[in-house]
Chain A
Amino acid sequence: MKEFAYQHATQVHEALTAVARNAGARYLGGGTNLVDLMKCGVEEPTRLVDVRRLPLDGVQVAPDGGLVIGATTTNSDAAAHPEVRRRFPALAQAVLAGASGQLRNMATVGGNLLQRTRCGYFTDLSSPCNKRIPGSGCAAIEGVHHNHAILGHTAHCVATHPSDLAVALCAFDAVVRYETLDGTGEIPLEQFYLPVDDRPDRETALPPGALITAVVLPGSAHTPRSCYRKVRERASYAFATVSVAAALDIRDGVVRDVRVALGGVASHPWRARTAEAVLRDARPTAELFRAAAEAELSTARPLRDNGYKVALARNLVGAVLGGLAATEGNR
């Protein structure tokens, strides 16, 4: 690991200035991803600006009935918050499905959104990787890629985004709030992660030096029933193979509102807009759910060794929607 300076900031402006002044400076949240990547030599910051003592901690109920979750709120605190559990169960479930009790106690909401891919070649400095070194190639396309993307990937990178939290946020139309020295800004989560294109090293639409200050869940996204289901290679403490965050509001026998997002399938949470369009205003039946899942996955382009994910994603979407439709309050 290269030597670096460390400071903890207590005011947002102080943190912004420290990073703006120094091209090699990085914000440090819980460190569960950044410190790991520094050990691997993927990240070599010259200064760490610790954000955990900034006044950005905690969950607030917004006037519209939505929630504002501060960027330094730990994953544990976000998942345990009674209003998160009551209004956005899929969000609490997504966070609890991620990592371990220890890691969730450390990890922050802002850091979770900016964690990097778990593609093994990304952290193996001896392999070509366009995400790590633009233009060097992608070792995964011909190599080990059974847990890589089936949607939205390009010949430049086939990695997936590992965050569970982001998948639920995507389904709920969450907005990422940030601050730079020029002022504050907001980016809907659905546009927060950039398409892979030919620059997989550029992952988000955040301006340089921006500090994430909160994620905002709009009150309008509140639906009576939502859930998060994650399939992985062991029962717990593993990244998603495929995951689904979904919310379903059925009234008078028709689908009034529906939100579906997939994790583990693309470089970013995959909002299943095609499936949603099939479902909206239709009568909820098992056949409909299957057709919706089918429609969404019709554009999937599996790699040599991950074709299983297409069927898995299709079945999971159908099962999750069926489960939500069967719960009380949706009958």
Chain B
Amino acid sequence: MTDQTHSTISLLVNDVTHRLSVDNRRTLLDVLRDDLDLTGPKKGCDHGQCGACTVLRDGRRVVSCLILAVAADAAAITTVEGLAVGGRLQPIQEAFVRLDGFQCGFCTPGQICSAVGMLAEHAAGWPSAVTVDDAPHAAPELDEAEVRERMSGNLCRCGAYPAIVRAVVETAARPGVAG
């Protein structure tokens, strides 16, 4: 009899395929950090409440602490380590560095992955809770209020919010970045 409490899964992480045998109880966050040595995603709360573990799953931002690794089988995962292309930072990463979008840096990988996912959601025309939805087809301008709301799933214990918001607003305003 095969052991039903373990599974063999395949994960495409930062463009590299990994075949792994996992205990079904393990989260995607733990597998990324402990098996694949990707320590960008952080374990802040382990309950979906802080966003420090945010990664992209098939292009969408998710909290990896509430995803069982076995349920992520066959998914494409991007962590903060996989964002730079050919050693070149993405605009949002560059903006966090230049505008001091952090203090201790613990929440930063989650903030940045979240921002990447958020900009894609905005480009796809998704509204937010503060969007005045009179024109359901046009994406609203990503002003401070929109950015604060859309990024509210990422807490920063250092309170670096003003600079985080500045970095995201600035990046969103760059041609070719936001929708």
Collect the chain B residues with CB atoms within 8 Å of residue A35's CB.
27, 66-68
In the complex, chain A residues whose CB is within 8 Å of the CB of B71: 6, 8, 28, 31, 48, 50, 52
Min distance, Cβ B57 to any Cβ of chain A, angstroms:
8
Pick the residue among A8, A47, A89, A236 that contacts B149 (CB under 8 A).
A236
How many residue pairs, one in A and one in B, have C-beta atoms under 8 Å apart?
A: 117
Number of interface residues of A (CB under 8 A): 39
Report the minimal beta-carbon distance from A130 to chain B, rounded to whole angstroms: 23
Q: Given A4-B24, A92-B133, are A80 and B126 neighbors across the interface (CB < 8 Å)?
A: yes
Instruction: Give chain B's interface residue range (CB within 8 Å of chain A).
Output: 35 or more
Would B7 and A96 count as touching, CB distance under 8 A?
Answer: no
B136 near A86 with CB under 8 A, answer yes
Shortest CB-to-CB span from B65 to chain A, Å, is 8
Residues of A within 8 A of B165 (CB): none
Instruction: List the one stretch of A99-107, A155-163, A191-199 in contact with chain B.
Output: A99-107
Task: Find out whether the CB atom of B4 lies under 8 angstroms from the CB atom of A5.
Answer: yes
A228 nearest CB neighbor, chain B only: B129
Residue of A nearest to B58 (CB): A105
Choose, from B46-54, B97-105, B169-177, the stretch at the interface: B46-54
Chain A residue nearest to B145 (CB atoms) is A235
Interface residues of B in 102-133 (CB under 8 A from A): 114, 117-118, 121, 124-129, 131, 133
B43 to chain A, nearest CB (A): 12
* Chain A to chain B contacts (Cβ below 8 Å), 24 pairs: A4-B24, A5-B5, A6-B4, A30-B66, A31-B71, A35-B27, A47-B4, A52-B71, A76-B60, A76-B121, A80-B125, A82-B136, A89-B133, A92-B127, A100-B153, A101-B61, A101-B153, A102-B54, A102-B61, A102-B114, A103-B48, A103-B153, A236-B148, A237-B153
